[in-house]
């Protein structure tokens, strides 16, 4: 069953890069707002772009770090950050693109983190956590460095989308669905939930039962 003309791994890699671009754009915007200099902006962009994957790899003891052997990550982030710093005024024009890219990033980072953890022999529950870790730790660290309360932990459908995607994967896998196809389903579920949440301004309700 071959749905793609290009290999699924290539597609995942391209989506990963799109996510990295979104991270670098969001980080550069916040860093400029906080008065960071050129290299400060680039550094925060890198933290946002591959911080989550780095923490995941440290926790799972995977070495060397993916961005140490594949320099595309460092190069793409540096280029994105520099271009945005030079043409700062274009940001509001590309705001919608960044939100779209960000949703692609959330989905791709979750799938990659989840699959990497399973490949390392982690238990399914831990794999779900590693998917979340890959998807949100970078943005969380960016906000911490910039002295803001992390957005992704607040009333936004973000971690929720990642968890739902992982659950769908686990159920379909248990039902015997083909892995490559299942990756694609998980990716779509997370992406669609996130885009719906952004579009309709969905928030997770509080679960406080009694006042």
Q: Please give the residue ranges that form the binding site for a second copy (CB under 8 A).
A: 31, 34-40, 43-44, 46, 54, 58-61, 63-65, 68-69, 71, 74, 82, 85-89, 122-123, 125-126, 129, 132, 140, 144-150, 152-156, 159-160, 163, 203-204, 206-211
How many angstroms separate the Cα of 32 from the Cα of each of 45, 48, 148? Answer: 11, 14, 14
Quote the least distance from Cβ 39 to a second copy, whole Å: 4
Quote the least distance from Cβ 8 to a second copy, whole Å: 27
Quote the least distance from Cβ 1 to a second copy, whole Å: 33
Q: Measured from the CB atom, is 15 or 116 closer to a second copy?
A: 116
C-alpha 82/C-alpha 24 separation (Å) is 10
Distance of CA 205 to the CA centre of its chain: 23
Quote the least distance from Cβ 16 to a second copy, whole Å: 19
Rounded (5°) CA angle 11-12-18: 90
Contact 76, 24 (CB under 8 A): yes
How crowded is residue 28: how many other Cβ atoms within 10 Å of its Cβ? 26
Residue 69: helix, strand or coil by DSSP?
Answer: helix
Q: Measured from the CB atom, is 64 or 176 closer to a second copy?
A: 64
Task: Give, as one character, the DSSP assignment of residue 121.
Answer: T
Quote the least distance from Cβ 43 to a second copy, whole Å: 6
Q: Measured from the CB atom, is 15 or 190 closer to a second copy?
A: 190
Q: Measured from the CB atom, is 75 or 171 closer to a second copy?
A: 75
Query: Does residue 201 come out as left (phi exceeding 0), alpha (psi in the -120 to 50 range) or beta?
Result: left
Q: Measured from the CB atom, is 12 or 116 closer to a second copy?
A: 116
């Amino acid at each position: 069953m071959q749905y793609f003309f290009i290999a699924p791994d290539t597609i995942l890699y391209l989506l990963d890069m799109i996510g990295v671009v979104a991270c670098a754009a969001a980080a550069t915007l916040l860093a400029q707002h906080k008065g960071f200099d050129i290299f400060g902006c680039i550094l925060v962009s890198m933290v946002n772009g591959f911080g989550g994957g780095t923490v995941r790899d440290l926790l799972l003891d995977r070495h060397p770090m993916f961005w140490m052997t594949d320099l595309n990550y460092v190069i793409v982030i540096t280029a994105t950050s520099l271009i945005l710093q030079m043409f700062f005024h274009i940001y509001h024009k590309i705001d919608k693109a960044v939100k779209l890219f960000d949703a692609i990033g959330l989905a791709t980072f979750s799938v990659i983190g989840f699959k990497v953890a399973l490949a390392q022999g982690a238990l399914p529950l831990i794999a779900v956590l590693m998917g979340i870790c890959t998807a949100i730790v970078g943005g969380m660290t960016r906000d911490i460095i910039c002295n803001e309360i992390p957005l992704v932990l607040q009333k936004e459908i973000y971690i929720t989308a990642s968890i739902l995607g992982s659950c769908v994967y686990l159920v379909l896998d248990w039902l015997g669905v083909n892995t490559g196809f299942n990756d694609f389903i998980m990716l779509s579920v997370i992406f669609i939930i996130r885009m719906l949440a952004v579009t309709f301004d969905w928030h997770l309700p509080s679960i406080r039962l009694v006042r």
